Amino acid sequence: MTGDLFGDRAIGDGAMLLRGFACGDAAALIEAVSRIAALVPFRHMVTPGGNAMSVAMTNCGTVGWLADRRGYRYEVRDPATGKPWPAMPGLFFRLAGKAAAAAGFAGFAPDCCLINRYAPGARLSLHQDKDERDFSAPIVSVSLGLPAVFLFGGERRRDRPRRLALECGDVVVWGGAARMAHHGIAVLADGEAPLTGNRRINLTFRKAL
């Protein structure tokens, strides 16, 4: 997987940054996020250590990702409403599949979309996505709204992460040898984005079950 004419580039073995891949869908994606958030509001989950996360989260799909005092896991129901998470919109599913295929992972069928909302000052510390049942499927991450600095490191937490500027419409895919890469988001700078005002929205697609 090497860079091509459109500016896509490998950011590691099994990891690819697809510049602007979701630009054409950005407005429809944001509208869908608003509809989902009207049913299952964004909330600041509390980590097992007892700290509220600065990123606000909600989910759609068969399962949703959760943090609480008991740990990190996927659940079929939203504990806040007691109801199943809203279905994943077809647009989300298709976009994630196309992005995965473009990065070399054909047949990606996500069952979870974790939706992250960042306000200025919010950050996501370096972590691995490891609550999924098996790691053969990649992670597909779609950036919308305000730009952010993506930290993309290695399998070991101490591996020094690269800093990649992500703009609205950029998609990062990591799987295979990069599946357990540590990643995070640096403190979000203030700004104004056409679709989202002073927020960044991230869609993280996973095959959890």
3-state secondary structure of 131: coil
Site string for ligand SIN, 131-170 (x = CB under 6 A): ----------x-x------x--------------------
- Select the binding partner of residue 124 from ligand SIN, Fe ion, none (C-beta < 5 to 8 A, by kind): ligand SIN
- The residue nearest ligand SIN at its CB is 202
Among 129, 146, 193, 208, binds Fe ion (CB under 5 A): 129
For residue 171, state whether it binds ligand SIN (rule: CB under 6 A): no
Among 183, 188, 193, 199, binds ligand SIN (CB under 6 A): 183
Evaluate whether 183 touches 127 at the Cβ level (below 8 Å): yes
Among 58, 59, 196, 204, binds ligand SIN (CB under 6 A): 204
| Distances in whole angstroms, Cα of residue 8 to Cα of each of 15, 144, 151, 189 | 11, 17, 17, 25
The DSSP bridge pattern shows strands 183-185 and 148-152 to be antiparallel
For residue 201, state whether it binds ligand SIN (rule: CB under 6 A): no
* C-alpha–C-alpha distance, residues 30 and 145, integer Å: 9
Determine the distance from the C-alpha atom of residue 55 to the mean position of all C-alpha atoms in its chain, rounded to a whole number: 12
- Select the binding partner of residue 202 from ligand SIN, Fe ion, none (C-beta < 5 to 8 A, by kind): ligand SIN
* C-alpha–C-alpha distance, residues 209 and 53, integer Å: 24
- Select the binding partner of residue 116 from Fe ion, ligand SIN, none (C-beta < 5 to 8 A, by kind): ligand SIN
For residue 59, state whether it binds ligand SIN (rule: CB under 6 A): no
For residue 124, state whether it binds ligand SIN (rule: CB under 6 A): yes
Least separation in angstroms between CB 141 and Fe ion? 7
| Distances in whole angstroms, Cα of residue 146 to Cα of each of 54, 149, 177, 199 | 16, 10, 29, 6
Torsion-angle region of residue 98: left (phi > 0), alpha (psi -120 to 50) or beta? alpha
Least separation in angstroms between CB 196 and ligand SIN? 13
- Please name the residue that has the structure tokens 């104004």: 192
Can you give the binding site for ligand SIN, defined by CB under 6 A?
114, 116, 124, 141, 143, 150, 183, 185, 202, 204
